[in-house]
Amino acid sequence: MSDDHAYQAISAYDTTLIQTPHIDRLAIEGMLFTNASVTNSICAPSRAVILTGKHSHINGKIDNISPFDTTNVTFPMLLQKAGYQTAMFGKLHFGNNPKGFDEFKILPGQGDYYNPKFITASGDTTITGYVTDITTDLTLDWMEKRRDTAKPFLLMYLHKAPHRSWLPAQRHYPEFTTKEYPLPTTLFDDYSTRGDAAKTAEMGILKDMLLSYDLKVPKTVLNALGISERLGAGGVNRLNDAQRATWDAIYEPIATDFIQRYPEMNDSILTVWKYQRYMQDYLGTIAAVDENVGRLLDYLDAEKLTENTLIVYTSDQGFYLGEHGWFDKRFMYNESFRTPLLIRWPNVITPNTTEDELVQNLDFAQTFLEAAGIEAPNDMQGESLLPILKGQKENWTRDAVYYHYYEYPAEHAVKRHYGIATKEYKLMHFYHDVNQWELYDLAKDPTETNNVYNVPDYAAILAKMKTKLSETRKKYADSEALDSMYIQQYEDYTQD
């Protein structure tokens, strides 16, 4: 799993931005899901949903700030109990250590790209190098040296990349910092048909992406240009002298070029400049993820583990790569609601299959448990994906998926909302300091720029979707009482 990896940045889905041959192998040799989504598009909550097989309002981890309740039963605990060896490496992003793992080496919180610190059961350790390479080194070290080959294993291999602020591996600077990318068609979206949430969100490339922290223009340059920003260079201060010299050789000429061009830049030229810089560094971090996924797949091949291993590639959520003028996630709109999902399981999945069923991160726990022949607790809320993986779709009946986002007021200012999506339509309700609805006709309006909530022609569809939404909320035991309870709880712990 990676963090904030948009499906648009995996060539099995879309070849516009980057080639990811190693990740793509999983689609060529397995199944590519085109309608996989998350239930709550933010890091730690997504991970809690994956581990527990329960929606955020049930497992309690509704946002990045609230604590994870460690009395939750997680699928790794159940696999461990059933005799699986279990290990976790990379980013977890909970305030507490994972339960149910024989070994873990995890990043504290968000972790760092360069020379990162890891938390282990025997204390903290700082390792020189690049986080994506190191996460793989630690994983392969466990696979080679401590895995008991007589037992089955569960491995959670969790990359920090491509999370903000985007810092590529040094070997990828030259290639990626010189690339130019096509502009998304909605880069200059004016949100004209939508409610307040899209208009007031603070995740605009022009307005909210920082020249220094995000795009590596040195503070000295900003001072010279009379621009002031709230944050300085993100994560670069962790480079040692030799690493810093490599950095400067690349990023100084970019800054010099910016100084010359800035005085002539209007908003749209600046947006495009920022978008290009953003893509260069974001995609640069993905190049290392892809290479390292390749290392792991090669290891499985060499050890003859490929045939009998179910392997999943996914992200904790999707991400905006300039669509609607944005970066970040949180919204139920397509790019952050969807998440990449590729699954390979030789002898079970027919190679090179594309699957458009509505599946969610909620489904992983029950999928893994069933695959391992372990009974899932009946309070888990997902569905095992095995019927889909086996091509037995007559046993798969889901026609809508549920979403609920909570972290507001907070960074990026995305309002609280819940909704449902079918393959054809999406209905969203924004609440708390607004009471606004949006409806999208996904077939006619795949970029979700035309809210048809108030369009008379859609009255019948709207009524059906509203009924389906309340049925779905009931089915998952979500309610207005819980919405209010979580608002109250949030106010309590954000005030402290």
**Among the candidate windows 2-10, 124-132, 336-344, 403-411, which touches Ca ion by CB under 5 A?**
2-10
Q: Which is nearer to Ca ion, 201 or 469 (CB)?
A: 201
Residue placing its CB nearer to ligand SGN in the complex, 112 or 448: 112
Q: CA 340, CA 6: separation in Å to the nearest integer? A: 7
Q: Which stretch binds Ca ion (CB under 5 A): 4-12, 349-357, 370-378, 391-399?
A: 4-12
User: Mask: binding to Ca ion, 294-323, rule CB under 5 A, as x and -?
Assistant: ----------------------x-------
- Nearer of residues 326 and 345 to ligand SGN, judged by Cβ: 326
Residue 412 or 426 having the CB closest to ligand SGN: 412
Q: Which of 17, 23, 43, 283 binds ligand SGN (CB under 6 A)?
A: 43
Least distance to ligand SGN, CB of residue 11, Å: 23
In angstroms, give the least distance from the CB of 43 to Ca ion: 4
- Those residues whose C-beta lies under 8 Å from the C-beta of residue 261, and which sit 6 or more positions away, are 273
Query: Would you say 359 and 388 are in contact if contact means Cβ atoms under 8 Å apart?
Result: yes
Residue 5 contacts ligand SGN per CB under 6 A? no
Segment interacting with ligand SGN (CB under 6 A) among 160-168, 286-294, 341-349, 356-364: 160-168
Q: Does 164 bind ligand SGN (CB under 6 A)?
A: yes
**Rounded to the nearest whole angstrom, what is the least distance from the CB of residue 317 to Ca ion in the complex?**
5
Contact between 247 and 170 under an 8 Å Cβ cutoff? The reply is yes
395-454: which residues touch ligand SGN (CB under 6 A)? Answer: 411-412
Q: Which parts of 285-344 interact with ligand SGN (CB under 6 A)?
A: 328
Region of 5-13, 35-43, 189-197, 238-246 interacting with Ca ion (CB under 5 A) = 35-43
Find the binder of Ca ion among 10, 43, 155, 343 (CB under 5 A). Answer: 43
Binding ligand SGN by CB under 6 A: which of 40, 64, 86, 280? 64
The residue nearest ligand SGN at its CB is 43
**Closest CB 135 distance from ligand SGN, rounded Å:** 16
Residues 6+ apart with CB under 8 A from 432: 408, 415, 416, 487
Size of the site for ligand SGN (CB under 6 A): 13
The interface with ligand SGN within residues 94-133 (CB under 6 A) comprises 110
State the residues that interact with ligand SGN by CB under 6 A: 3-4, 42-43, 64, 93, 110, 163-165, 328, 411-412
State the residues that interact with Ca ion by CB under 5 A: 3-4, 43, 316
